[in-house]
Amino acid sequence: MLKLYNTLTKEKEEFEPIDKENNIVRMYSCGLTVYNYAHIGNMRTYIFMDTLRKVLKYNGYKLMHVMNITDVGHLTSDADEGEDKMAKSAREQNKSVYEIAKMYTEAYQNDFKKLNIEDTEVLAKATDHIKEMEEYVKEIIKNGYAYETSKGVYFDTSKLEKYGRMLSNNNMDDLKAGARVEVDTEKRNPQDFAIWIKAPQEHIMKWDSFMGLCYPGWHIECSAMSRKYLGDVFDIHTGGVDHIPIHHENEIAQSIGATGCIPAKRWMHVEFLQINGGKMSKSLKNVYTISDLEEKGMEALAYRYFSYSAHYRTKLNFTWDAIKSAQIALNRLREATKQHQNGNGIADENKINEYTRRFENAINDDINMPLAIAVVWDVAREQEKAREYYDLIMKFDSILSLNLDKESSIDTDYPEEVKTLLEERKKSREDKDYAKSDELRDKIKEYGYEVKDTREGQILKKI
């Protein structure tokens, strides 16, 4: 029986879809705001989303899964203040907001392909759903949960007894004491948030509406689009833990205002990725992308493997040593898998049944991937090299999505002659003898390897 942790109830619960008759799971995932490249912290959340999809399918469920793309942009602060992120990026790069959205949408989709993250059934762009958002806002107003000011329409949080405490257990007094500076003196409560904003003349992205030229508050899109494709109440909502205290609390508030319902039965959140034990920050220059990993000689799927080293509800600490170790481990796992593919031994049927039971218990216990990957290693290490073990690993890889039937493009176990040349080249670079360094690079190439120089040292890649 599949059990999933629910942020709403703070418990692991046995999973059953709402639509048991058709065995369909309806799921919504918060997507990216496409104003910049997605970083590896984002990708941890989407690797989890994809793994959850595949666990559900492994258990025989069909999926109706929606992910949004925020290409409208929203303000740089969650508090209805600051500059529109899309407009800011467009100005800095001398492009239109639509060119920015297209460029970064294509970039993250390319990263998804590298990470074997499959497409959701619906990819919903915010700009394609402005009318749905407008109608949603009208319903909230009609039901008495919103009010108009000279700057827009605000959700009236005082109408909800448990506003801000559904997912995050915030204390309302603390929220009031720590509320951000109000930018609209007409707001009734500091916590009230914009759901429909009257566009100033200089605002780039705006649409004609029942209130004139406006643009949506950034929380409203997920509520409107999830309702359109999944109905008033659906099975699972996923996102990062950073969404809990504001974005997802506001989604719940809006949905109660429009439909009287909490939109999802289960809310699942992925913990933060840390960098060297601390926060990821532009000021620290440690906001890394999948391309950054590749430039340093790592494979995108090494990061997927690395993400399985911690449960999704616990923090994961990224270091360059850790990702290098993940690449080495992935290479060795593929090699061990290949030995079984070509093996002519006979597998123990009892062992196959036991491995299957252990793997399924792991994935069905709130997606316990560290335990699941340990089972795969146990199969790979079987002394008897048998095709049946290979087939079992490939069955498990339908969830892991690590291409365990392929050879690694990144080599970590290279010949001794190459290791010697690398050491010589390292010394020549330290001595600033770059002519000798180039000569050694060419010799290494004769062995079938390309060497790259990075801040972390020399990285080899098969040609």
Per-residue pLDDT tens for 333-390? Answer: 999 999 999 899 999 999 999 999 999 999 999 999 999 999 999 999 999 999 999 9
Q: Which of 125, 131, 129 is nearest to 71 (CA)?
A: 125
Task: Indicate the SS3 state at residue 317.
Answer: strand
Which of these ranges, 3-7, 270-274, 339-343, has the smallest mean pLDDT?
A: 339-343
CB 409, CB 461: distance < 8 Å: yes
Q: Which amino acid is it at 213? A: L
Which of these ranges, 21-30, 177-186, 215-224, has the smallest mean pLDDT?
A: 177-186
Fold of the CATH domain 3-270: Rossmann fold (3.40.50)
- Token representation of residue 211: 């209130």
Task: Give the model's confidence band at 455: pLDDT under 50 very low, under 70 low, under 90 confident, else very high.
Answer: low
Residues 275-400, CATH architecture: Orthogonal Bundle (1.10)
Across 407-424, average pLDDT:
76
CB 305, CB 57: distance < 8 Å: no
Task: Indicate the SS3 state at residue 305.
Answer: helix
pLDDT of the residue at 196: 96
> Max alpha carbon distance in the chain (Å)?
77
- Token representation of residue 340: 């079984």
Task: Give the model's confidence band at 446: pLDDT under 50 very low, under 70 low, under 90 confident, else very high.
Answer: confident
Q: Does residue 76 carry a pLDDT above 50? A: no
pLDDT of the residue at 175: 44
Mean pLDDT for the chain overall: 91
CB 259, CB 227: distance < 8 Å: yes
Q: Does residue 424 carry a pLDDT above 50? A: yes
Q: Does residue 50 carry a pLDDT above 50? A: yes
What residues form DSSP beta bridges with 245? none
How crowded is the C-beta side of 384, counted as CA atoms within 13 Å?
Answer: 11
Across 256-278, average pLDDT:
97
Task: State the Rg of the chain over Cα.
Answer: 25
Query: Each residue of 72-92: b (16+ CB within 10 Å) or e?
Result: bbbbeebbbeeebbbbbbbee
Task: Give the model's confidence band at 178: pLDDT under 50 very low, under 70 low, under 90 confident, else very high.
Answer: very low
Q: Does residue 21 carry a pLDDT above 80? A: yes
Residue indicated by tokens 């010697």: 420
Q: Does residue 172 carry a pLDDT above 60? A: no
Task: Indicate the SS3 state at residue 35.
Answer: coil
pLDDT of the residue at 267: 98
